[in-house]
Amino acid sequence: MKNTDMILISICSITIMFTSFQIEWLYQIVEDFKYISIRAFLMQLCSLIFLLLFVKSKNDYYIYAIILVASTTGNCFLIYLMHESILILV
């Protein structure tokens, strides 16, 4: 396996680490599907904008992987930022 493949695998494995810490089930318990949908839509929209701005050639696959990981981890961080306000509702 080439060194570039290992770097790409390392970048993408960050997604696995952060998705294991998601607490999206908490929002499903309190039935806040509007928040879940809006958050997911905005993160995907940001991801699309960054992909269109920064990925220009087939050699930009590191940038592509970083943007995808950032959209997933950003989703996780938004969950934790809103976590305290949800606990008040429960």
The tens-digit pLDDT sequence of the chain (90 residues) is: 677 788 888 888 888 887 776 766 666 676 667 777 787 888 889 999 999 999 999 899 899 999 988 888 877 676 666 655 554 544
| Amino acid making up residue 55 | V
Q: Is 22 left (phi over 0), alpha (psi -120 to 50) or beta?
A: beta
Q: What global pTM score does this model have?
A: 0.72
pLDDT of residue 32: 66
pLDDT of residue 79: 66
Q: Find where tokens 């995808």 sit.
A: 68
pLDDT of residue 49: 96
Q: Residues 24-29: contacts with CB within 8 Å, 24+ apart? A: 24/79, 26/83, 26/86, 26/90, 27/79, 27/86, 29/90
pLDDT of residue 66: 92
